Structure 1
Amino acid sequence: MGREFEIVREYETEAAPEQVWEAITTGSAGWLWPMEFEPREGGSAGGGGVVTAWDPPHRLTSRVEDPDGIGGMPQTLNVLDTVIEPRAGGAWVRYVHSGIFTGSWDDQYDGASRHTDFYLHTLRQYLTHFTGRAAVHSDVQGPEASMKPGSFAAAVRALGVDDAAEGDTVRVDLPGAGPVDAVLDFRNEHFVGLRTGDAMYRFFGRDAWGGPVGIALHRFAPDAAASRDQVQAAWKSWLDGLYA
């Protein structure tokens, strides 16, 4: 039997409301994953959903409902609502993720809540450092062995950031890119974010919720599209070797 949930976040950004709107409706590959919205109420939304509110640049709401589960997840209803208001020097944003979980409610809520914080942080990083720039997105998942609880710590050690603090500039050897200087823009026990001059690398410790360790790449360099397959394969090899 399902149980309702609601996750609410509010934040301010120096980006203009129009820039926030563009980021969530057309530039989502730069901070989340590629999503397309048919620009009208009743239009199609990413993940098989429908747009229930379309008021640029003020409000976007989408809804997905499936009694058999959404995207293979034990969730029968998923609603995403973003309200954007102008503020002096930028914008104020209110984000609400709600719906119905049908599995282990506590675990799902904890995972969704923590992922929300990481995703919205990445959005703010995009708005601050890459707004308006097109991105090439890649998603790489670790092998089954990375699903074992505690696996994420191995990825942190392999990156060489286990002794670094959030905000530090670190020297890291990135598959497909080589040694680069990166800002450790996010770090806790489940997530790590690295930002270079032309990319954001997001590391997910989903082993905490029964999933594999994963990596999302948001690359803005002019040659990012041409090198996508090569870079994605390099990261896949890195993950597979790490958990072999």
Structure 2
Amino acid sequence: MSEEFEIAREFEVDAEPQQVWDAITTGTAGWQWPSEPEPREGGSAGMGHTVTAWDPPHHFAVRAENLQEIIPTLALNQLDHTIEPRDGGRRAWVRYVHSGIFTDNWDDQYDGASKHTDFYLHTLREYLTHFASRPVAFSTLDGPDASTAPDAFAAVGRALGLAAGTAEGTGVQARGPAGQLLDAVVDFLNPYFIGLRTDEALIRFFGRNHWGAPVGISVHNFAPDADAKADETAWQAWLDGIYA
């Protein structure tokens, strides 16, 4: 049965409103995935969305209807961002609202969308704080079918070498592809997601097995010589190896 939903979040960040605007419009590859809307109301915004508000750097919104061919359980999707200056424009306050209509399995869909929202918005703040405006090589990948098992995501933390009780903000040497040790900060950690921040990258691990999908990884690599395809190949082998 179809039912409306709304997920709303507010936060402040040490970034100017224009930097936030750039991040949510032209800089999405740095914290989510590449998507650049046409800069006008009525413009295309990708995945069937249309820009419904374009008032830089204050208000950006998009809307899509009849998305079932792309996302079978989503009939209406709306994303709304309001940005206001704080501290004389040196900081920004952001209100984000994701709303729409789920057509099936409402509780599970809402739970997944809500938890993903918190992780993506955290990654946005990490990007704005540490990497804003830097060129990025983005790659994303999914694990094999075995990574859909209910307990599959726990294997990711073990493979990274994260000790039990590791807290957010802890510096670690994580085990990456081919046994490479990554000097990183665990910037996000819960049973559903892990975020690692190195000096040159944001590496995100998604426990989508909790919602019946494969475990996933996205890499936002800001190194001058970053190679998105090489990152994808290396991390795919790492992830596949966990579930071999």
TM-score (norm 1): 0.96
- 1:175 deviates by 1.7
CA RMSD of aligned residues (A): 1.3
Percent same amino acid at aligned positions? 60
Aligned equivalents of 1:3, 1:81: Cα separation in 2: 19
Match of 2:6 in 1: 6
- 1:195 deviates by 0.2
Gaps of 5+ in 2: none
Alignment of 1:62-101 (within 5 A): 62-66=62-66, 69=68, 71-88=70-87, 89-101=90-102
Match of 1:116 in 2: 117
Aligned equivalents of 1:100, 1:149: Cα separation in 2: 27
Aligned equivalents of 1:73, 1:149: Cα separation in 2: 22
1:179 matches 2:181: yes
- 1:176 deviates by 6.9
Aligned equivalents of 1:72, 1:5: Cα separation in 2: 15
SS in structure 1 of the partner of residue 146 of structure 2: helix
Alignment of 1:15-54 (within 5 A): 15-54=15-54
Match of 2:207 in 1: 205
Amino acid at match of 2:171: T
Aligned equivalents of 1:191, 1:49: Cα separation in 2: 27
Structure 1 runs of 4+ off > 6 angstroms?
Answer: none
Q: 1:28 to 1:201 in 2, by over 3 A?
A: same
Aligned equivalents of 1:4, 1:78: Cα separation in 2: 10
Q: 1:70 to 1:14 in 2, by over 3 A?
A: farther
Contact kept? 1:141, 1:214, Cα under 8 Å: yes
- 1:154 deviates by 0.5
